[in-house]
Amino acid sequence: MSLFNYVVIFILISLWINGIYSENPCAARQIKGQSIVCVCNSTYCDEIVRSIPREGTYIAYTSSEAGARFRKTTGLLGPNEDSLLSHNESVRITTLTVNTGKVFQRIEGFGGAVTDAAAINWKNLTDPRLRQNLIKSYFGTSGIEYNMVRVPIGGCDFSTHPYAYNDVPEYDANLTHFNLTSEDYEYKIPMLKAIKQESRAPIYVLGTTWSPPGWMKTNHALVGPSHLLPQYYQTYADYHLKFVQKYTEAGIPIWGITTTNEPVNGDFLIVKFNSLGWTAKNMGKWIAEYLGPTIQNSTFRGLKILAVDDQRITIPYFYSLMIKEHPQALQYIDGIAVHFYYDMLSPPELFSLIAKHYPDKFIISSEACVGNYPWDIQKVILGSWQRAYTYIHDIFQDLNYNLVSWLDWNLCLNKEGGPNWAGNMVDSPIIVDTENGEFLKQPMFYAMGHFSKFVPRGSRRVEVMESKPFYYRSLLHVAFLTPNNTVTTIVYNKDCFNRTVKVKVGNYQEVLLSLEAKSITTIEIPV
C-alpha cells in the first residue's frame, strides 16, 4: 500500500472512532502558573471510553503538562519505515520492545479511599447528578474504572472528630456494644453502594484500623504513642471480625484487611492523629495466635490479611522481624501493604527481599497522597502537573517491582484539603467546590487513569526492553497483557522536548508516536 492509502485509512478509522464514541472532552480551566483542571458540574463532566482496537490498529491516549487529557489518537500498526522520518528524527528514536513471552505479576486493581472526609465531601454536593458524575468519573466505564477501595475501620484523621467503634462502654472485652456509627450509615456505606452500582468489575474493599478504642490501649487514648494491652489481643481480633460482619450485612462485602495503619509510626513518633503502635514481635504474636485463627475460624476465612501497611522503608525491619519471631504468622498472611511516603529514602529493591524470601506473598501500595509533608505550605495546589508526576513516577516503579495494586488516599477533599480533625490537610485528585456546585479533576486524576482504566484486573505485566540513543535518558515505561487480548504499554516522557518512540510487540505490530514534553501516553495494541 502506498503512504496515501495509509493516510486515507487512518482518516476513516479516526472518523469511525470519533463517530461511535462521542465523549465529552475536558472542560478545562487554566490555573495560573500550573497546568489545567477539568471542571465537572451537574450537567457536564468529561468522559473517556476504552474501546478495544481492531486488528491491525492501535489506540493511544495522552495527557500532558501542556493540557492534553486522554487525547485519543489511532492509527495502523506498522512495520514503520524509518525512512518516513527525517534523518534527525530516526537517529533519536527510542524503541520499546514488548516481550509477551516473559510474564510477571497479575494485577488486582487500582483505587482510592472512602474516608469519612471523602464521603462527607461527596454527600455535600447537593445535586444528585453532581454526586453521580463524581462516582462515574472514578468507577464508571466512561470514567477511569477504579476497582478497589480502602475504608478506615472507624475513624482516622480524615474524620470530623476522633472516634473508634465501641468507645463506650469501656472494658467491654466481648464487644457487646459494637456498632457502626453515623459516619458509616450516612456517608461511607451510601458512597460505597453508589460505587458498587456504577462499577462493572467487582469492587475489592480493604479495611484498615487506625486506632481501636482507648480502653484497649496502654495510653487510654486514640492518639499518641501506645500499644495494645495484652488482655485485649483477642478483643482486637474480634473487633476486625465484627467490622467485616457489619459491613457485609450492610451490603458491602470486604475483600481484605490490613493489620493496623502505620504501626511503626504509632510506636516511635509523636503522631497527632489516631494510631496504634506495634513492635514487630508483638504484631507477629497477635497475627499468629489471635487475628489469624479468629478469621480462619469464621465464615470469612477467604478474607485477605495484609501485614505492614506502613512505609516501604519499614519492610526489612518490620516484616522480617515479625516473621523471625513468629513464623506461624506467615500462614495467615496473604501479602503486605506499603505506603508511598518517603519513598525517596528507600530503594524499591526492598520489594525484591519479599519476592525472594516470601515468593507466595503479594505486595500492594495501599496509600499515597501529596501535600502531606511539613514543608508543603500549600496543601491543595490546583492544576499541579508536578504532583501528578509524583504519582506517575511511583506507580511505574512499584509496577516494575511486581506490586499488584496501587491505591490513592482520599477520593475527594474540599478546597482546604479536608475535613481533617487533626489539621493534617493534604491534596486529592478531585477537589469539591460545594458553593459553586462543581468539582475539579486534578492532573493526578488523569495520572491514575492512565493505569487504572487500561490495566484491568487480571492483566499480567510483561517484559519491556528499551533501546535509546546514549545521550537521552530512559523513558518511564511498563507493559501488560490484558484479559482483552491486548498489550497496554504506558510511557512517560520526562523531558521538556518531544521524543519519538517506537513500541514494538511483534514484527507486524509496531506503533510510531511522538511523545510530547512531560506527557504520559497509554497505547493499546491487539495481540
User: Stretches 116-124, 132-140, 302-310, 467-475: which one binds ligand NAG (CB under 6 A)?
Assistant: 116-124
**Interface residue with ligand NAG, options 185, 268, 373, 508 (CB under 6 A):** 185
Among 167, 198, 394, 516, binds ligand NAG (CB under 6 A): 516
Strand-pair category, 204-209 with 148-153? parallel
For ligand NAG, the binding residues in 422-481 under the rule CB under 6 A are 434-435, 456
Provide the b/e sequence for 307-342 (b: ≥16 CB within 10 Å): bbbbbbbbbeebbebbbebbeebbebbebbbbbbbe
Q: Kindly state the DSSP code that residue 114 receives in the 8-state scheme.
A: -
Alpha-carbon torsion 287, 290, 291, 294, what sign?
positive
Residues 69, 519: Cα–Cα separation, whole Å: 10
**173 binding ligand NAG? (CB under 6 A):** yes
Q: Please spell the DSSP secondary structure of 428-455, one letter per residue.
A: -SEEEETTTTEEEE-HHHHHHHHHHTTS
Residues 318-357 that bind ligand NAG (CB under 6 A): none
Based on the shown chain and the rule CB under 6 A, indicate whether residue 43 belongs to the binding site for ligand NAG: yes
In the complex, minimum distance from the CB of residue 196 to ligand NAG, in angstroms, rounded to a whole number: 16
Known catalytic residue: 108? no
Q: Which is nearer to ligand NAG, 115 or 121 (CB)?
A: 121
Judged by phi (left if over 0) then psi (alpha if -120 to 50, else beta), residue 31 lies in: beta
Interaction between residue 514 and ligand NAG (CB under 6 A): yes
How far is Cα 370 from Cα 409, in angstroms, rounded to an integer?
A: 9
Tell me which residues in 264-323 interact with ligand NAG (CB under 6 A): 293, 297
> How far does Cα 397 stand from its chain's mean position?
13
The smaller minimum CB distance to ligand NAG, of residues 185 and 342, is found at: 185
- Judged by beta carbon, residue 43 or residue 474, the one nearer ligand NAG is 43
Q: Which residue in 34, 328, 402, 484 binds ligand NAG (CB under 6 A)?
A: 484
Say which of 47, 108, 367, 510 is annotated catalytic. 367
How far apart, in whole angstroms, are the C-alpha atoms of residue 154 and residue 57? 49
CB 110 within 8 A of CB 456: no
Rounded to a whole number of angstroms, the minimum distance from the CB of residue 55 to ligand NAG is: 14
Q: Which of 1, 33, 83, 88 binds ligand NAG (CB under 6 A)?
A: 88
Task: Check whether the bond before 429 is cis (ω within 30° of 0).
Answer: no
**Which of 174, 345, 374, 474 contacts ligand NAG by CB under 6 A?**
174
Q: Which residues, 6+ apart, have CB-to-CB distance to 81 below 8 Å? A: none
Q: Does 182 bind ligand NAG (CB under 6 A)?
A: yes
Q: Which of 5, 86, 219, 467 is in the footprint of ligand NAG by CB under 6 A?
A: 86
Q: Tell me the sheet residues that pair with 239.
A: none
**CB closer to ligand NAG out of 320 and 484:** 484
Report residue 155 as a C-alpha cell.
Answer: 475513624
| Helices (H), ranges, 409-523 | 443-452
41 binds ligand NAG (CB under 6 A): yes
Among 11, 12, 15, 52, binds ligand NAG (CB under 6 A): 52
Query: Which span sits near ligand NAG by CB under 6 A: 37-45, 100-108, 251-259, 279-287?
Result: 37-45
Of 118 and 308, nearer to ligand NAG (C-beta) is: 118
- Per CB under 6 A, does 485 bind ligand NAG? no
Q: Does 498 sit near ligand NAG (CB under 6 A)?
A: yes
Whether 55 is a known active-site residue: answer no
User: Does residue 3 sit in helix, strand or coil?
Assistant: helix
Question: What is the number of residues in the chain?
Answer: 527
Torsion sign across C-alpha atoms 341, 343, 348, 354: negative
From the candidates 47, 108, 183, 262, which is the catalytic residue?
262
Q: Per-residue b/e over 79-108, b at no fewer than 16 CB within 10 Å?
A: ebeeeebeeeeeebbbebbbeeeeeebebb
- Please, are residues 401 and 389 in contact by the beta-carbon 8 Å criterion? no
Nearest approach, Cβ of 59 to ligand NAG (angstroms)?
11
Place of cell 519513598: 343
Under DSSP, the state recorded for 360 is T
Nearer to ligand NAG, 308 or 426 (CB): 426
**Closest approach of Cβ 319 to ligand NAG, in Å?**
25
Residue with cell 487514648: 221
Please, what is the minimum distance in Å from the beta carbon of residue 377 to ligand NAG? 21
| Candidates 178-186, 268-276, 487-495, 502-510; binding stretch for ligand NAG (CB under 6 A) | 178-186
What is the contact mask toward ligand NAG in residues 124 to 143, using x (rule: CB under 6 A)? x-------------------
Beta-ladder partners of 373: none
By C-beta, is 323 or 515 nearer to ligand NAG? Answer: 515
Amino acid (1-letter code) at residue 327: P
| Packing angle of the helix pair 116-124, 128-139 (nearest 10 deg) | 130
Distance CA 307, CA 320 (A): 11
**Active site residue ranges:** 262, 367
- The binding site for ligand NAG (CB under 6 A) comprises 27, 41, 43-44, 50, 52, 86, 88, 120-121, 124, 173-174, 179-180, 182, 185, 293, 297, 414, 419, 434-435, 456, 483-484, 498, 514, 516
